[in-house]
Amino acid sequence: MNINDLHAFVSVSEHGSFSLAAEALHLTQPAVSKRIAALEQTLGTQLFDRVGRTITPTEAGRALLHHAQRILGEVEDSRRAIANLEHSVKGQLKLATSHHIGLHRLPRVLKQFIQQYPEVQLDLSFMDSEQACRAVEQGAQELSLITLPPQTSTQLELIEVWTDRLVLTVSPSHPLAREATINAEVLARHPAILPARGTYTRELIDQQLGLPDINTQLETHYLETIKMMVEVGMGWSLWPDNMIDDELKPEQGGDIAVERKLGIVRHPQRTLSNAARAFIDICRSAA
């Protein structure tokens, strides 16, 4: 089987679209279609059902996906291991990061990394932390810099870099801003604006606050949306204490707070490139 054909197959499977796969691979859509057709001819079976604009893997496609991901991961491992023999820091580094970290934590690290290692070609992708973890697990990304998942929920290696303290925050005009004492019972009476269920941050909030039933006005993946809705008084939220401004009011001196860990995720069974090792070292020094 041709490696490029496998890359195209995995990309179409992950994106559910030939056009999105072509964009991710920096190819034209006909080129991706040609590679899938070549792979199907080699294997003697159809790998995708195409109904209108919907692309779904066939039973054969689902069976192939795990093996294709493993094969591509081993190929990348081999390339990194050979490149590492030169002891130079260059080549490609595929890095995924969340939008929050990309905006507020990454720039200082990235500036130092680019200045120190100009021969590295950085392939940077922005995605949710949960998606970035899956990408590392599947070998699509070498590293991810994200909100770390709970330790027990993954076999990936987690490297803590920063701690984010999320404190109870409301608009100055919100009723909670006038409460003398805020406990779980008081909090439960007011609507909340929180990260969506299924995200690592929401999982930590549910675990650490211990509220049996949170009245959520809105759940979203986007922190800026949460901030806007809290500012206009639609509910309370938990917000990084180093990002609170005049439009938000931290309550009770931070008595109600949640800590989350931010850092690097890597696959323990895959060889790290010299570029990845250098990036990890710079992150640790910036902590």
Chain centroid offset of residue 120 CA:
22
Domains 1-85 and 164-259 share a fold: no
The gap between the terminal CA atoms of the chain, to the nearest Å, is: 44
Residue of 61 and 155 predicted with greater confidence: 61
What's the pLDDT tens digit per position in 173-228? Answer: 888 888 877 877 788 889 999 999 889 999 888 888 887 778 888 998 888 889 89
Residue 207: phi, psi to the nearest 5? -70, -50
164-259 fold: D-Maltodextrin-Binding Protein; domain 2 (3.40.190)
Least confident stretch, 31-35, 129-133, 150-154: 150-154
What's the pLDDT tens digit per position in 90-122? Answer: 888 999 999 889 988 999 999 999 999 999 999
What global pTM score does this model have?
0.73
CATH class assigned to 1-85: mainly alpha
159 with 266: CB under 8 angstroms?
Answer: yes
Q: Where do the structural domains in the chain lie, given as residue ranges?
A: 1-85, 164-259
What's the pLDDT tens digit per position in 237-261? Answer: 998 887 877 666 666 544 688 899 9
The residues near 71 (Cβ < 8 Å, ≥ 6 apart) are 1, 3, 6
Average pLDDT value for residue range 258-282: 93
